[in-house]
Amino acid sequence: QKEVEQDPGPLSVPEGAIVSLNCTYSNSAFQYFMWYRQYSRKGPELLMYTYSSGNKEDGRFTAQVDKSSKYISLFIRDSQPSDSATYLCAMSPADRGSTLGRLYFGRGTQLTVWP
């Protein structure tokens, strides 16, 4: 079993739709949870990160972590064509005092938002 599971999609939605992206994981030591956006042939860029369980909102994006279920989500409200990209979840057991470079990634979900 992989440590991080993510449905690769593809996911195709109309502009304005609410998008829900999810990942599950098996390692209960994970403390930091991140969502990255990756455009084609580019490196990933950080969208959001959360620590432990709870919700975090940033504009149209909301990240949720449920550690009891080992389940994280990213919601995109009022989706735009410019949101079309691959979204990767990532997680780490490290605390902020040490390196967070050792991340465990999901496969990424390919999202297309059509006008």
Partner 1 sequence: GAVVSQHPSRVICKSGTSVKIECRSLDFQATTMFWYRQFPKQSLMLMATSNEGSKATYEQGVEKDKFLINHASLTLSTLTVTSAHPEDSSFYICSVYDRLKGELFFGEGSRLTVL
Least Å distance, CB 78 to partner 1, is 26
Kindly indicate which of the ranges 45-53, 59-67, 68-76, 77-85 contains the residues binding partner 1, using the contact rule CB under 8 A.
45-53
- Site membership for partner 1, residue 115 (CB under 8 A): no
- Total residues at interface with partner 1 (CB under 8 A): 23
Contact pick of 25, 35, 44, 64 for partner 1 (by CB under 8 A):
44
Q: Does 108 bind partner 1 (CB under 8 A)?
A: yes
CA distance 110 to 2: 19
Q: Is 103 in the site for partner 1 (CB under 8 A)?
A: yes
For the chain, strand residue ranges (E) read: 4-6, 11-14, 19-25, 32-38, 45-51, 54-58, 61-66, 71-76, 85-92, 104-105, 109-114
Q: Return the SS3 of 26.
A: coil
Around Cβ 21, how many Cβ atoms within 10 Å? 22
| Positions that interact with partner 1 (CB under 8 A) | 4, 6, 8, 36, 41-46, 49, 88, 90, 96, 99-103, 105-108
